[in-house]
Each structure stands twice: as structure tokens, then as C-alpha cells.
Chain A
Amino acid sequence: MQWETVIGLEVHVQLSTQSKIFSGSSTAFGAAPNTQADVVDLALPGTLPVANLQAFKSAIMFGLAIDAEIGKESVFERKNYFYPDLPKGYQTTQLEKPIVGLGYISIPTAVEGEIKQVRIHHAHLEEDAGKSLHEDFHGMTGIDLNRAGTPLIEIVSEPDMRSSAEAIAFLKKVHAIVTYLGISDGDMSQGSLRCDANVSIRPMGEEKLGTRTEIKNLNSFRFIERAIHVEVDRQIDLLESGGVIKQETRLYDSDKNETRSMRSKEEANDYRYFPCPDLLPVIIDDQTIEELRAIMPELPEQKLQRFQEQFSLSAYDASILTEQRSIAEFFETATTHCGDAKLSANWVMGELSGYLNKHDLTIEQSPVSAEQLGALIGRIKDNTISGKIAKQVFEAMCSNEGSADEIIEAKGLKQVSDSGAIEAMVDEVINNSPDQVAQYRAAEPDKRKKLIGFFVGQIMKASKGQANPGQVNQILAKKLNA
């Protein structure tokens, strides 16, 4: 039987506000345990939450970015359950009146050029829990409450995705939106963006949704892809062997590459949600929304469009360059410095990203800045060096040997554009290769193009790559055709 995969995602995004959602503690990552937890975060008796309005602004900007309705009256509720890293015994979250209502996120599909709209059921604000540390405590558990109270938006999609590739495309889009907006650093390795996946299958053509399982806490694109794959395979095997899917929460084990049951629907907590009496409903007026709309930065889609129009890039190049805000900005800065968007795009997507991948670096960690790369490309454009020599210069720049100009100077890599010098080299090669010259001259004009390559190669070799290839071609053609 042909099965169709159905996926809905719940994405948790940590907001990069200075302070926590209900206390004045810092949200910075990596501090010593419990140094960023004040009396409110510790849930000492008598302490009360005060909502951080910046978190609301971030959530509203996300809502505007996905064309969603903004909740005019936003209510916090308590989700009650016991866990050692949940200090109050409840999580303050939103249920009936979230800040962001129905919206849309568009993603590319497997069909080239086709775009699909994934519906966002809602997105709500909530607080993160602390962390339980099970190692280094000799059979006991340590609690670190630094993360407790970090603001999150939870983005809940409808089950609109049909493959793990679509799920990944969706997540990448969420990542792009929140980082473009500057409301999150989107750093998955630090848990700034995490997701749970609701996965079900149904016979192709069937409308009714199958029973879903929820896979918890997936924190890398690779794990999400693998987890969905193994879970879909498990469900297909189960159904095809006459079994039934149980609605349950499953955990992905990346070491064994399998999902396993955490708790069934029956074992699920009754969270006893009710409106938090310590926090009044937050009323969002139109003026606030319009003020935020006015300061919205350029979004991925808008940038994609602009890159194609302003820089005459292909849709493919533009989409690669705009996937991450930092890459798009790197490209644009480099382009400003060299004045050639096409060259700049090729370098960012080619040499630069090759180097970064090889050394497992992010673009923020690039040893060559956008300005420096732009300066290098500028030297190709003004014929100081050839593209080939530029790669050599780039390598040297990556090893911190200096700026493009310094390296070109120090290594004497300047392109030879002196036509007298090039003519001398051309003459020498022609004189030393009588057979090839004869062959060339005997060939039909359309075959000659291929044969000229031999002479170019010889001259470039003689010049150690520094002869201006344009000039070499021109002079060679003139002399051979004479």
C-alpha cells in the first residue's frame, strides 16, 4: 500500500530578551548553575511574576511576519504539573487566548518552484523550565534554574507537512523568520530552537488522519529528519503487520536511531489549566501593533525577491543566500565592497561556504570578513589578479596572512597585463610548438577554439598563472590567425 506521511510541528523558540519573561534575571546562556535565578525564578513563597513586555513585542513581530491575527487580549494560564526543574509546580503559558492566532508560513516543496503554505494554528508565549542534571551528582539529580523563566514562543502548526523534507524546510523557515526579526538567536546547539513532531500516516488518498504519535524534544535538523523517518517506518511496519498505532508521546534515541514510548495518552498529566490570577490579561492596542509593524526588518521572502531584482541573481542563488540572515548580510556587504553581485554570490556560496563547511564554522566565525572578501573580489574585477589566483589569495587570507592586497603584493601575484611581456611569452610558445601551430592552422574555425586551449595552458604555466587570461587569448588569436 502507498502511505502518506502527515506531520505537524510544535516549535519552541527562545526569545533573546535581556531579562526573563517574569523576572529581572538575565537570560544569558552558559553562566554557572543557578547564578541567574532570583527569588522569583526560585519560586520562593510570596514572590510574584511581572510580564516582560519585550517578550510580547517579539511575539507580536513574529505574528506580523506570518500574517497572523494578533490577540488583542492575551491571557496567561497555569499548566500544573510537578517536576524538580519546574520551581512553581506549574508552567505559566497561554491556552485559550494566545498572543498570535492563525497564520501562515510558506515553504518550498519537492516540486521545483512550487511553494506550499503551512497553516500556523497559533503561537503562544510561555516560560522555559530549568534543567535537571543527572551526571556528576553520585546518583542524585542537580537542578540548574538559570534557564527557568526564559521566554519562549511555541509555534504550533497544523498537520500540513507531508515529508520530513517539508518539516525541515518549515523549521528552516521558522529559523529564518525569527533570526531575521532578531527575536531569537536560533541557536539549536544551545536549545534556542527545539521542536516536537506529531507524526501519523494514512493510506494515500485517504482524508481521515491516522492516529498520531508525538516525538519529543528534537534539537537538530538531522535528528528531526531521522526521527521522522524511523517513526514513519515504524508506523508503516506496524500497520502493515496488522497492528494499531497508539496515541502516545515517544522519545527519539539518536544513538540507537529509534523512537520509544515515553507515556501513553492514558498516562498523560491532567494539567488543570486555569488563568493565572497573578497576571492580568495583557491588552494589545492597535497603536502598539502599528508601531511594531513600522519597525519590522526585511523578511526572508522580501529579501529573496529583492536579491533577484536588485542583483539579478537566479531564484536558486537568491534562496541559498537568504536562507540565513547572517549569510544574506555577508553577501550584501561583500557586494557593496566589490560592486559585483554575481561574483560575490559565487564566492559566498562557493569558496567561502566550502571553507566554512570544511572547518565546521558558522559564517559569524569566518576568518575572512565580508569587507575583506569584497576587497579580494574587487581585485578580480579590476584585473589585478585572476579568479584562479584569487583562490590562492583567499587560502592565505584564511590563514591570517593579511589582506588581499598585502598577500598579492607579498607573494608577487599581480596579474601580468603588460602586452609586451605577454606577446613575448606568446611568441616563445608559438616558436616552440610548430606542430601544434600547424595543426591549429589546418583546423576548421569551429575546431580551433578547442585547440587554442593548449597554447593558453602553456602561457599560463610559463607565467605561473599571472598572465591576464583575456589578453593572452586576444594576442594568441591574433598571432595564430595571422
Chain B
Amino acid sequence: MKPLHELTIAEIQLLLQQKQFSSREITGHFLDRIAQQNSIYNCYISVDNDGALNAADAADKAIATGANGPLLGVPFAHKDIFCTQGVKTTCGSKMLDNFIPPYDATVVAKMKAEGAVMLGKTNMDEFAMGSSNETSYFGSVKNPWDLETVPGGSSGGSAAAVAARLAPAATGTDTGGSIRQPAALCGITGLKPTYGRVSRYGMIAFASSLDQAGPMTRTAEDAAILLNSMSGFDAKDSTCTDIAVPDYTATLNQSIKGLKIGIPKEYFDERLDATMAATVQTALAELEKLGAILVDIELPNSALSVPAYYVIAPAEASSNLSRFDGVRYGYRCDNPKDLEDLYTRTRTEGFGEEVKRRILVGAYALSAGYYDAYYRKAQQVRRLIKQDFVSAFEKVDIIAGPTSPSPAFKFGEKGDDPVAMYLEDIYTIAVNLAGLPAMSLPAGTMNNMPVGLQLVGNYFAEQQLLNTAHQFQTVTDWHHQSPVTE
């Protein structure tokens, strides 16, 4: 048998049922690894040893009485953006360094109900604002493939934990690429579902109209297992869609013969590094070999997605983050002189630079006299971008391209230039603006660093995406490559 930390969740579930090991054993194994190695990668903000072992024991008891379930007794990690009752939830910020939620996010409650075992909470860019994990108050996460490079962001802790085998799987959230880009940079599989597929209740909001939670796993099959659990209508989230959840694992083995894959020319223009382009082309050729048909398409408004996003997301964030005022919970400055001072110093001291930058940008975009020029205009652009995809999906089933313009970059490389950092999401952002589902798959390497292939599906076509991804993974082994030797 492979070492326990090399198992996928599909394998863990099977072996738990076969009583090859107990949930306590594999949970303990991961807790030991985290204790030994988290200081290297800094991918966990909190580790819930007692909670994890208790949940593992409960799962073992259930299994002993014949219970079965795809996540029963399976260890995993939650991004520290999901509220977990009784377990500190920081969202990567000093502002919430002392915040212990009295309630579970819907995603957390669902996975708990299935007997999944939460190991801990993973590091992230502060309030999910960042593409390198450098904005976390708790220090940046190291990319397990090269400790000098970033893991991507904002779900960098989740991506690194899975890549470093400090968790078999993790949850993430994606507002502009925060699942897919770190998945690409860390060589794992990440899925951002259709907006409305997964409840946002209890997920600390960055930009409400764009945020969506999804699985970060080693394989497409694991992503399907996790998505089965995470998805579904939730009456507590008005933007959650009431559409039945199919069994995402049921269709993984279908043939993709005849599948039409659109290749947007805008994603392969001169701005994409030639080696990156070649790597992605090689991956696309694999899909062609499986019977897929590659079709050239256009997404003419692609170039507008970054500017539109950097108006809409900060605008929503500026309002969403107003509740962090030092009055009811979270950080409060010492000895406030008066109300004004309480607000000003709490927010000055509690938020990091990138968060403050986005609050300012967002407040400006919404302010009297600028609303039409910025926010309203950005919403109009958003409709055009969505329309581009709607038109494209009349011709093709899936759209493919690179997940990020380059593999993982060095720490500090883009730290001084917010716009360079924002361009890191150039291929992922349009998907959020349109509300579509998309995945990133390990698809090769460049300079020994992982490269991600992005697949974008039509609305609620997660089944097709996962099927395509799984088929790709039956003929490639990039997803099995590991940066760690022990």
C-alpha cells in the first residue's frame, strides 16, 4: 500500500470500509505530518487536533456499525474563510485573529454531517484578496514545489496543503481565480462551480456576486466526490440555485469523443509565454487524442475583464467589510478616544495594505459622481463578457486555455506592483464575472514548476467538466506527481 498521505479520498474511503486502517490512524497520520511540516509551508492557520480525533473516532464507530459514505472518516482541511463553530476563523486577517464563530457555514455543516474529519483551517490571502498568499496576516504560504515561490492565492494554504500531502483534499473559494490559480501553481486539481451551485452562507464575503466555494483535490474524481457533498440549494443563501445535484462521480468514465473544445484566441495571444503556450497545447493534444474536437473561438471582450473585475469586486468588498468596525467582534484598537477614533484606528490597524487598497478603490467607484463612470459601466462590461461566453457555448461544449500566465513566481516579485499581481488572474476572472464553472488541472511543467490547464464549462455543466478532467487524468499523470519525497 502507498503511504497514507499519498492516498486520494476515493482510495481512503475504500480502505476505511475495508478496515485496512481506521479514520483515527489516517487522521493521526496527517496531524503528525502537519505538526512536523507545517512550519515549512505555513499552510495551516489553525489545526484542530482534538476536534479531528473526536470526529475520526465517531466515524470509526459509525463504520464499525456498518455505516458507509464517501466522506465518512476522510480527513480534509477547510480554507479559513468558512465559519466553523468553536474553531477560530480568521479569513487571514488580524481583524479576525480572535474570532471564534458560534455557527457553522453551510458547506462546513454539510461535510460534518457526512462524517468528514476536519484537520484544520488553511492559510489564505487576507479576506481572499491576493494571488500569491503574501497578504495573509499569518505569513505567506510556501509553494511545496519550490519554497522560494508563491503557492498562488487566495486559497494558497489549501493548495499547498494538498500538494505537500498535509491533507488529502481541501475546500477553497474563488472570486477571481482563487481556487484555480493556486491549484495550477501547486500542481493540484481545483474546481470553481457555477455561481449559485454551492451555498455562500457562512463563507466570509469578499465580493458577493463573484464568490463561490469549491473543492481542491489531487484528482478530478476526488473533486467530484467533494462537490457532491458541498453542492445544493440552501434557503439561507438567496443567491443559491435550486437545481438538483447530480452524482458528479457517475459520469466520470464517459467517453469525451466528439466533445467540442473551444480555444479562445485571446488566451493564446503574444502576452502568453511561448513555453507556457506550448505546454498547454500539448495538454490540449491529449484531449484531442481522446476524441475531443478543438475549435477556434473568440471571446472579444476578454481584455475588459480585469478592469471590470477590479471595479466590481472592490466595490462589493468595500461594503462587505464595513461590518469589521470593532464594535461587536474581532479586533478593536486600544483605548479609543471616541467613536471616530474607534473606527479609524480599528480599521487602520486591523486591515492589511491590500485590503485597505481595495476598500478605498471600491468606495471611490461607488461614490457620488463616479458611480456611473465606474460601477455602472463595469456592470455593463460584465454583461458583455457574459454574452461572449453565451455565444461561444452555442458552438462548443467546453472552453480551454491556460489557468495562469506563468507558473509560480518568486516571493516579492510582484509585491510592489498591484497591477502586475492583478494580471495574474487574467484568464480566470472572466469566468467569475460570467458566473460559469471552471477547473484547473495539472497539465505539465515549465522550469520544473507545475502548469495548469483551465477548462471552462457552461452553466451547471460541472458533470461535463469533471468527466473531461477525469478522462484527461486517465491518460496523463501530472496529477500524481508530488513535490515531496516524504
Interface of A with B (CB < 8 Å)?
39, 42-51, 78, 80, 82, 84, 87-90, 143, 270, 272-274, 277-280
CB-CB under 8 A from B204, the residues of chain A are: 45-46
Query: Please, how many angstroms separate the alpha-carbon atoms of A411 and B470 in the complex?
Result: 97
Closest residue to A80 on the B side, CB-wise? B319
Q: Which residues of A contact B102 (CB under 8 A)?
A: 39, 44
Determine if B96 is an interface residue (Cβ-Cβ < 8 Å): yes
Say yes or no: B343 contacts A44, CB within 8 Å.
Answer: no
State whether B105 touches A272 (Cβ < 8 A).
no
Contact A50:B319 (CB < 8 A) given known A87-B328, A143-B327, A274-B375: no
Interface members, chain B 307-337 (any A CB < 8 Å): 315-316, 318-319, 321-325, 327-330
The chain A residue sitting closest to B347, CB to CB, is A82
Bound Cα distance from A51 to B321, whole angstroms: 21
- Contacts A44-B83, A279-B238; is A78 near B329 (CB within 8 Å)? no
> Nearest residue in A to B234 (C-beta to C-beta)?
A48
Select from chain B the residue with minimum beta-carbon distance to A43.
B323
Does B367 sit at the interface, judged by CB under 8 A? Answer: yes
With contacts A278-B208, A280-B239 taken as known, whether A272 is within 8 angstroms of B367 at the C-beta atoms is yes
Interface of B is mostly: loop
- Taken residue by residue from 81 to 107, chain B's Cβ proximity to chain A (1 for < 8 Å, 0 otherwise) reads as 011000001010000100101110100
Could you say which of B324, B329, B366 contacts A272, with CB atoms under 8 Å apart? B366
On whether the beta carbons of A270 and B103 are closer than 8 Å, the reply is: no
B363: CB under 8 A from chain A? yes
A303 to B99, CA, bound (A): 57
Most interface-central of B89, B99, B325 (chain A CB within 10 A)? B325
Q: How far is the CA of A138 from the CA of B315 in the complex (A)?
A: 38
On whether the beta carbons of B322 and A89 are closer than 8 Å, the reply is yes
| Distance in angstroms between the alpha carbons of A45 and B328 in the assembled complex | 11
Query: B371 interface residue, CB < 8 Å from A?
Result: yes
| 7 tightest A-B CB contacts, nearest first | A89-B322, A272-B366, A277-B208, A277-B209, A46-B202, A45-B204, A43-B323
Q: Indicate whether A272 sits within 8 Å of B319 (C-beta atoms), given known contacts A46-B101, A47-B201.
A: yes
Q: Would you call B237 an interface residue if the criterion is a C-beta within 8 Å of the partner chain's C-beta atoms?
A: yes
Known: A44-B101, A89-B319, A278-B208. 19 other contacts (CB 8 A): A44-B83, A45-B101, A45-B329, A46-B101, A46-B204, A48-B236, A49-B238, A80-B318, A80-B322, A80-B366, A82-B343, A87-B327, A88-B323, A272-B318, A272-B366, A273-B366, A274-B319, A274-B375, A277-B316
Residues of B contacting A272 with CB < 8 Å?
A: 318-319, 363, 366-368, 371
Report whether A278 and B83 are in contact in the complex, using a CB–CB cutoff of 8 Å: no
Are the CB atoms of B371 and A39 closer together than 8 Å? no
Given the contacts A45-B89, A45-B99, A277-B208, A50 and B238 also touching, CB distance less than 8 Å: yes
Whether the Cβ atoms of A43 and B328 lie closer than 8 Å is yes
Q: Using Cβ atoms and an 8 Å threshold, which residues of chain B touch A88?
A: 322-323
Q: A270-B368, A274-B371, A277-B316 are in contact. Are A47 and B322 (CB under 8 A)?
A: no
A50 near B236: Cβ-Cβ < 8 Å: yes
Closest to B83 in A: A46
User: Is B200 at the interface (CB under 8 A from chain A)?
Assistant: yes
Residue of A at shortest CB range from B240? Answer: A48
- Residues on B with C-beta less than 8 A from A46 are 82-83, 101, 105, 200-205
A297 CB, min distance to chain B CBs, angstroms: 31
- Chain A CB within 8 A of B1 CB: no
Q: Which of A39, A45, A84 has the most CB of B within 10 A?
A: A45
Instruction: Write the nearest CB–CB distance from B315 to chain A, whole angstroms.
Output: 6
Flag if A274 contacts B103 (CB, 8 Å). no
Interchain CB contact under 8 A, B319 and A78: yes
B339 on interface, CB distance cutoff 8 Å: yes
Q: Can you list 27 residue pairs at the A/B interface with Cβ under 8 Å?
A: A39-B102, A39-B103, A44-B101, A45-B205, A46-B200, A46-B201, A46-B203, A46-B205, A49-B238, A50-B236, A80-B366, A82-B322, A87-B327, A89-B319, A270-B368, A272-B319, A272-B366, A272-B371, A273-B366, A273-B371, A274-B316, A277-B209, A277-B239, A278-B205, A278-B238, A279-B238, A279-B239
Within 8 A of A (CB), among B223-275: 235-239
Q: Is the CB of A274 within 8 A of B315?
A: yes
Chain B residues near A90 (CB-CB < 8 A):
319, 322
Contacts of B105 in A (CB 8 A): 46
CB-CB under 8 A from A48, the residues of chain B are 200-201, 236-238
Point out the residues of chain B lying under 8 angstroms from A279, CB to CB.
238-239
Shortest distance from the beta carbon of B92 to any chain A beta carbon, whole Å: 12
- Residues on B with C-beta less than 8 A from A87 are 323, 327-328
Neighbouring A residues of B363 by C-beta, 8 Å = 80, 272
Closest chain A residue to B95, Cβ basis: A45
Contacts of B236 on A, CB cut-off 8 Å? 48, 50
List, in ascending order, chain A residues with CB within 8 A of B96's CB.
45
Chain B: minimal CB distance from A28 (Å) = 22
Bits for B170-204, please: 1 = Cβ < 8 Å to A, else 0.
Answer: 00000000000000000000000000000011111
- Assembly CA distance A44 to B363 (angstroms): 21
Task: Kindly state the separation between the CA atoms of A280 and B195 in the bound complex, as whole angstroms.
Answer: 13
Question: How far, in angstroms, from A46 to B99 measured CA to CA in the complex?
Answer: 12
The chain A residue with its CB closest to the CB of B362 is A272
Contacts of B316 in A (CB 8 A): 274, 277
**Complex CA distance for A48 and B102, rounded to whole angstroms:** 15
Report how far A82 CA is from B359 CA in the complex, Å. 14
Whole-angstrom CA separation of A270 from B364 in the bound complex? 10
- Chain A residues, CB < 8 A from B91: 45
Complex contact B328–A89 (CB within 8 A):
no
Q: How far is the CB of A105 from chain B (nearest CB, A)?
A: 31
Contact partners of A49 in chain B: CB under 8 A: 238
Q: A44 contacts B315, CB within 8 Å?
A: no
How far apart are the CA atoms of A46 and B200 in the complex, in Å?
8
**Nearest CB in chain B: distance from A148 CB, A:** 11
What is the 8 Å Cβ interface bit string for chain B, positions 65-82, against chain A (1 contact, 0 not)? 000000000000000001
> What is the distance, in angstroms, from B275's C-beta to the closest C-beta of chain A?
39
Query: B99 contacts which chain A residues (CB < 8 A)?
Result: 45
Chain B 102-115: CB-based contact to A (< 8 A → 1; otherwise 0): 11010000000000
Cross-interface CB contact of A274 among B89, B237, B321, B366, cutoff 8 Å: B366
CB distance from B196 to the nearest CB of A (A): 10
Chain B residues with Cβ below 8 Å from A78 are: 319
| Complex interface: chain B residues within 8 A of A277 (CB) | 207-209, 239, 316
Shortest beta-carbon distance, B330 to chain A, in Å?
A: 8
A280 to B208, CA, bound (A): 11
**From A82, A87, A279, A280, residue with most partner B Cβ within 10 Å:** A82
Give the complex CA separation of A88 and B322 in angstroms. 6
Rounded to whole angstroms, the CA-CA distance of A362 and B208 in the bound complex is 48
Give A80 to B205 CA distance when docked, in angstroms: 16
Out of A47, A50, A51, A84, name the residue touching B327 (CB < 8 Å): A84
Contact B103 A44 (CB under 8 A): yes
What's the nearest-Cβ distance from chain A to residue B271, in Å?
31
Closest A-chain residue to B315, C-beta based?
A274
Residues of chain A lying within 8 A (CB to CB) of residue B205: 45-46, 278
Complex-state Cα separation, A88 to B99, whole angstroms = 16
Question: Closest CB-CB distance, A278 to chain B, in whole Å?
Answer: 5
**Residue in B closest to A49 when the chains form the complex, CB atoms:** B238
Is the CB–CB distance between B83 and A45 below 8 Å? yes
CA distance A48 to B318 in the complex (A): 16
Q: Chain B residues with Cβ under 8 A from A45's Cβ?
A: 83, 89, 91, 96, 99, 101, 204-205, 323-324, 329-330
Chain A contacts for B328, CB-based, 8 A:
42-43, 87, 143
Q: Is the CB of B367 within 8 A of A50?
A: no
Bound complex: CA of A90 vs CA of B316, how far in Å?
A: 12
B375 proximity list for chain A (CB < 8 A): 274
In the bound assembly, the distance between CA atoms of A82 and B102 in angstroms comes to: 24
CA distance A44 to B96 in the complex (A): 11
Chain A residue with Cβ nearest B104: A46
Tell me the complex Cα distance, A88–B319, Å. 8
